[in-house]
Amino acid sequence: MAGEGDSEPRKSFKLLGFLDVGTVPCSRESVLYGSVGSLVVGLGHFLATSRVRRSCDFAVGGFICTMLGYWFYCRYNLAQQRIRQRMIQEGMKNKLLFEGSSLDPEKKQMGNGGSDS
């Protein structure tokens, strides 16, 4: 009985019918931060003006701005992280490839340091 629940595919939440929040990177956090942003902006505007309809409009605008802002910030950081990861993987591959050969940069550095003294 307990094993049956593990084999089921995970149910996903689709925002606007096409954005799968569970699988698209940064989408879950963007929606969560957007909802908190809309709550803060809408409640703040309501407490300042006591106008319900206008506060709801500000809440929707706050949701959109916060969600898009965090989306771009998160995607930019994700792209930078992937670039750094690729550079590290290439460096590790080159280290294994050139280790012990005449093209090994560490061997050249150690050879120059020993001849200077």
Q: What is the pLDDT along the chain (117 residues), one digit of tens a residue?
A: 455 555 556 666 666 666 676 777 888 899 899 999 999 999 999 999 999 999 999 999 999 999 999 999 999 999 999 999 999 999 888 887 777 777 776 766 665 555 554
- pTM for this predicted structure: 0.66
Residue 37 phi/psi, 5-degree rounding, is: -65, -40
- What does the pLDDT look like over 40-72, one tens digit per residue? 999 999 999 999 999 999 999 999 999 999 999
Q: How far is CA 71 from CA 6, 79, 114, in A?
A: 31, 12, 52
Helix 27-49 × helix 52-98 angle, to 10°: 150
Q: How far apart are CA 41 and CA 113, in angstroms?
A: 62
- Is the distance from CB of 73 to CB of 56 less than 8 angstroms? no
Q: Identify which of 28, 21, 24, 31 has the alpha carbon closest to the alpha carbon of residue 63.
A: 31
Q: How far apart are CA 40 and CA 38, in angstroms?
A: 5
Give the pLDDT confidence score for residue 62 in this predicted structure. 95
